[in-house]
Amino acid sequence: GAGVSQTPSNKVTEKGKYVELRCDPISGHTALYWYRQSLGQGPEFLIYFQGTGAADDSGLPNDRFFAVRPEGSVSTLKIQRTERGDSAVYLCASSLSGRGTGELFFGEGSRLTVL
Amino acid sequence: AQSVTQLGSHVSVSEGALVLLRCNYSSSVPPYLFWYVQYPNQGLQLLLKYTSAATLVKGINGFEAEFKKSETSFHLTKPSAHMSDAAEYFCAVNEDDKIIFGKGTRLHILP
C-alpha cells in the first residue's frame, strides 16, 4: 500500500524480553518520527530521523530504547529489558520534509503489551 | 518548550449541533498549529493546519479553526455535527522539527 506500515500490529511479551518494532514509511518521505501513546493520552514524541540520522532523540525515556534507520527508509524501534510500564501503542509517522511544518502521515501503530 | 492544552477530555454534542473543541497553546515563537483526528481503529490523520498564512483555517469534513494570538487559542469548530464525527481529536504545535500533541478530546455524537 501507499501508506505508513507498522509491524507487528500487536506484540505481547514478558518483562525483561527484547522487542523490535518496524516502520515502513511512505516512499520518498525523508522524515520519520516515533511516538508512544498510552491509554487516555496524546502521542508522546520519542525520536525523529531526517534521512539516516537521528536529528532529535530527546524523547527516548532511557537507554533501553534505541531506534535506527540505516538506509533512510525503514526504521526499527528497539526496546531492551522491557518493563510493564513500556506497554503502549507505538506510532510511526513520516513526512515529506520534516521541519515541523508539514503533515505527518501516521501508521496504525504497534500495540505492545508487557506482562 | 512549546505545549498545547486541550480543555475537556470528553465532549458530547447532539447530531446537528455545533461542535467546539478547545485548544490553547504555549509558544515562545510564532507557532505552526495542527488538529489531527483519530477514528476508531485507524491511524491519526491531519484535519487542518495553521502556518500563519490566514487566521481562519478550513480543513476536511467541514471543520475549521481560528488562530487567535491574543487568546493563544486555536479552537476547532464545525457548524453541524454528524454521527461520523465521533472520534478523538488532538491539537498539536511544532517545536523545532517535531510536533508536540495535546492529550486529546474524545467527541461523542448523541442521536
Contact B104 A45 (CB under 8 A): no
A100 vs B41, B43, B99: nearest CB: B99
Give the A window 68-97 contacts with B, CB below 8 Å.
Answer: 91, 93
pLDDT at position A1, please?
55
Residues of B whose CB is below 8 A from A7:
none
pLDDT at position B29, please?
79
Residue pair A32/A49 in contact by the 8 Å Cβ criterion: yes
pLDDT at position B98, please?
87
pLDDT tens, chain B, 111 aa long? 889 999 999 999 999 999 999 999 998 777 899 999 999 888 899 999 998 778 899 999 999 999 999 999 999 999 999 999 999 999 999 888 889 999 999 999 999
A103 touches chain B (CB under 8 A): yes
Residues of A whose CB is below 8 A from B25:
none
pLDDT at position A59, please?
95
Give A40's pLDDT tier (boundaries 50, 70, 90): confident
Residues of A whose CB is below 8 A from B1:
none
Contacts of B89 (CB under 8 A, 6+ apart): B6, B21, B35, B36, B37, B38, B47, B76, B104, B105, B106, B107
Residue pair A104/B99 in contact by the 8 Å Cβ criterion: yes
Contact A48 B97 (CB under 8 A): yes
Residue A27, Cβ density class (10 Å: 0-12 exposed, 13-18 middle, ≥19 buried): exposed
CA-to-CA separations, B39 to A16, A39, B61, B83, B89, in angstroms, rounded: 33, 15, 13, 12, 9
A42 vs B41, B94, B103: nearest CB: B103
Rounded Cα distance, A21 and A26, in Å: 17
Contact B103 A43 (CB under 8 A): no
Residue pair A4/B43 in contact by the 8 Å Cβ criterion: yes
What angle is formed at CA A63 by the lines to CA A4 and CA A77, rounded to 5 degrees? 15
The answer on pLDDT for A32 being more than 90 is: yes
